Amino acid sequence: MNFDAVAPGLRPMVDAIQRDQIRRARAMKPEERFAEAMDLMDFAYEVMENGVRTEHPDASDEEVTRFLRKKLSRLRYRDDYGIFSPPRSVL
């Protein structure tokens, strides 16, 4: 989560939330942190899937999966290279 892009008046609250998240993460066992990370990934996938279904309401499950793979491929490419230019295999 990008904590830098917040309104200045919200900065103290955001800082407190971030400190609390760090404290809770440090108190967790490694397997608990891993489970939390997997839950967050599942949630992110569901959000992306819901977005695809909203953009393409008539898409079949297979088409939704294809759109999600394309989005994830683009995100991976952007993370790897720092720019957004979809790989040729996605197009």
Domain edges within the chain: 30-91
User: Residues 10-36: what's their mean pLDDT?
Assistant: 93
Q: What is the pLDDT of residue 80?
A: 81
Q: Looking at the chain, how many residues does it have?
A: 91
Over residues 46-74, the pLDDT tens digits come to 999 999 999 999 999 999 999 999 998 88
**How much is the pTM?**
0.63
In whole angstroms, give the CA distance from residue 34 to residue 40: 10
Residues whose CB is less than 8 angstroms from the CB of residue 86 and which lie 6 or more positions away in sequence, other chains included: 70, 73, 74, 77
